[in-house]
Amino acid sequence: MVYNAAPHGEEVSEDPRTAAANDAPASLAGSTAVLVLGMHRSGTSAASGALQCLGVSLGRTVSSAGPSNPKGYFENTRVMLLHEELLASLGAGWDDPRPLPQGWAGESRLAPWRDRLTAILNEEFTGAPLWGVKDPRLCRLLPLWVPLLARAGVKTTAVLVLRHPGAVAASNGRRTGMPREQAFELWLEHVLEAERHSRGLPRTPLSYRALLENWRGELGRVERDLELPLAWEAGEQGVEALLARELDHHPAEGVGVAEPLVGWVRRAWQAVDRWHREGVDPGSALDEVAQERARWAPAALPVAQYLERRAEGWRRRCEELQAPPPAAAATARQVEVEQRLAGVATELDRTRAELGRVRAELEAERAHRRGAEEELQRLVNTTWMRLASRYWRIMARLRRKGS
């Protein structure tokens, strides 16, 4: 069975290790799921591929190699395509840096998506005691997954794959031309959402750099932290072949964007890196970053960049449709494209206006802070002068008495 995965352009083949599950009852109860979480270009493919070698089933419909990942994407294409459709239904996409609508996972209109996802998981993973799913979109869609798997009786675990955000941004820029600001905003969105919604699950961080340098040590720690029955003897050669000559082509590059984004990215990275190195839970530090970011994220520069790129894409499609249409259908399609372009342009204008408002508020707050600091300094100076004057009066009396 072969599928065509549109986002990557790779072929998808059946995983022979789970083909025997065709006749199994349609139930996932009692199985263990490993959710591999991480931003696009963070090393999630290498991590999920290594876990597959060690006995974690990725399902029957697994993406093979493609131009961006010559050794394979190691993701279930049916799940990935459903994620793409779901994000589109929420008015978003894989590269949209805007937060998803608040409370989206609880909306009744998502019932068909839950049913479809349940069916896919049953068809792909029934009969596999240990299985996993890797898709960067999963970072943002965890609120749909966690309760669904709990109802299905699945023990859900999470591996959060970490790679320096500068390296992630550089890789995304080389692959898609994504601006650095947009890449960093996306990295933040994925890291914050993945960490927040995986709380309460058995979870552990996995460093992409550490995986390349000492995969046995890194995956051994994952096995212990999550209590996974990995098949080392059967899979070691496969992991060696997968990671052979694998390089971190963009190691720890600088952030190189303006405040406040650079500060949020730096603090978030320090929190998750310390989690990996020292075991310090990053929750409170990331919550502080999320709270500061929440006010500005909907109108930040990366949002404008994303909308401008979308608008440019629709403009190019309109230009393509300027050629003589072969039939009335082409004219209808052109009208549809122009309408969507107008919608994107309106949304972009609204975002620019909101960005101007936020900038004005920020400048007002800065002015207020400067005024408060000046007033504080004035009070300090006044208090000091009063204390100094009183001191010298007291000393003068003491000197007079002494004489």
**Domain interval for residue 18:** 3-294
Residues 331 and 287 in one domain: no
Task: Please give the pLDDT value at position 27.
Answer: 84
- pLDDT at 136 > cutoff 90: yes
- pLDDT at 339 > cutoff 70: no
Question: Domain ends where: 265, 294, 323?
Answer: 294
| 38 within domain boundaries | yes
- pLDDT at 17 > cutoff 50: no
- pLDDT at 295 > cutoff 90: no
| 21 within domain boundaries | yes
**Kind and range of the H or E run holding 193:** helix 180-197
In this prediction, residue 10 has a pLDDT band, given cuts at 50, 70 and 90, of very low
- pLDDT at 328 > cutoff 70: no
In the predicted model, what is the mean pLDDT of residues 127-154?
96
What percentage of the chain reaches a pLDDT higher than 90?
Answer: 50
Looking up residue 215, the CATH number of its domain turns out to be 3.40.50
**Kind and range of the H or E run holding 206:** strand 203-207
pLDDT greater at residue 84 or residue 17: 84
Q: Report the chain's mean pLDDT, rounded to a whole number.
A: 81
In the predicted model, what is the mean pLDDT of residues 330-353?
63
In the predicted model, what is the mean pLDDT of residues 289-314?
69
pLDDT greater at residue 317 or residue 135: 135
- pLDDT at 385 > cutoff 90: no
pLDDT tens per residue across span 201-219: 999 999 999 999 999 999 9
pLDDT greater at residue 363 or residue 255: 363
Residues 182 and 148 in one domain: yes
Question: Tokens for 123?
Answer: 């068809």
**157: alpha, beta or left? (left if phi > 0; alpha if psi -120 to 50):** beta
Task: Please give the pLDDT value at position 303.
Answer: 62
Measure the CA–CA gap between 290 and 86, rounded to whole angstroms: 24
- pLDDT at 23 > cutoff 60: no
In this prediction, residue 72 has a pLDDT band, given cuts at 50, 70 and 90, of confident
Residues 243 and 164 in one domain: yes
Residues 276 and 364 in one domain: no
Task: Please give the pLDDT value at position 326.
Answer: 57
Q: Can you say how many angstroms the Cα of residue 322 is from the centroid of all Cα atoms in its chain? A: 38
Taking the model in full, what pTM does it have? 0.71
Supply the DSSP symbol for 249.
S
- pLDDT at 3 > cutoff 60: no
Question: Domain ends where: 294, 320, 350?
Answer: 294
- pLDDT at 168 > cutoff 90: yes
Question: Domain ends where: 261, 294, 327?
Answer: 294
In this prediction, residue 31 has a pLDDT band, given cuts at 50, 70 and 90, of very high
Residues 327 and 263 in one domain: no
| 322 within domain boundaries | yes
Q: Can you say how many angstroms the Cα of residue 36 is from the centroid of all Cα atoms in its chain? A: 11
Measure the CA–CA gap between 161 and 59, rounded to whole angstroms: 20
Task: Please give the pLDDT value at position 111.
Answer: 93
Residues 69 and 207 in one domain: yes
- pLDDT at 334 > cutoff 90: no
| 400 within domain boundaries | no
In this prediction, residue 251 has a pLDDT band, given cuts at 50, 70 and 90, of low
In the predicted model, what is the mean pLDDT of residues 263-280?
96
| 34 within domain boundaries | yes
The total domain count for the chain is: 2
Q: Can you say how many angstroms the Cα of residue 324 is from the centroid of all Cα atoms in its chain? A: 42
pLDDT greater at residue 10 or residue 357: 357
| 333 within domain boundaries | yes
Q: Are the beta carbons of 98 and 190 closer than 8 angstroms?
A: no
Residues 58 and 82 in one domain: yes
- In sequence order, which residues have a C-beta less than 8 Å from that of residue 201 and are 6 or more positions away? 146, 156, 157, 158
- pLDDT at 19 > cutoff 50: no
Q: Are the beta carbons of 148 and 73 closer than 8 angstroms?
A: no
In this prediction, residue 182 has a pLDDT band, given cuts at 50, 70 and 90, of confident
In this prediction, residue 392 has a pLDDT band, given cuts at 50, 70 and 90, of confident
In this prediction, residue 248 has a pLDDT band, given cuts at 50, 70 and 90, of low
Residues 258 and 373 in one domain: no
| 393 within domain boundaries | no
Residues 14 and 121 in one domain: yes
Residues 250 and 335 in one domain: no
- In sequence order, which residues have a C-beta less than 8 Å from that of residue 17 and are 6 or more positions away? 57
Question: Tokens for 234?
Answer: 């059967």
Task: Flag the least confident range among 32-41, 92-101, 317-326.
Answer: 317-326
Residues 89 and 154 in one domain: yes
Q: Can you say how many angstroms the Cα of residue 263 is from the centroid of all Cα atoms in its chain? A: 17
Residues 205 and 346 in one domain: no
pLDDT greater at residue 306 or residue 103: 103
| 399 within domain boundaries | no
Q: In the chain, helix, strand, coil percent, each to 5?
A: 65, 10, 30
Q: Are the beta carbons of 282 and 272 closer than 8 angstroms?
A: yes
Q: Which residues pair with 2 in a beta bridge?
A: none
Q: Can you say how many angstroms the Cα of residue 232 is from the centroid of all Cα atoms in its chain? A: 30
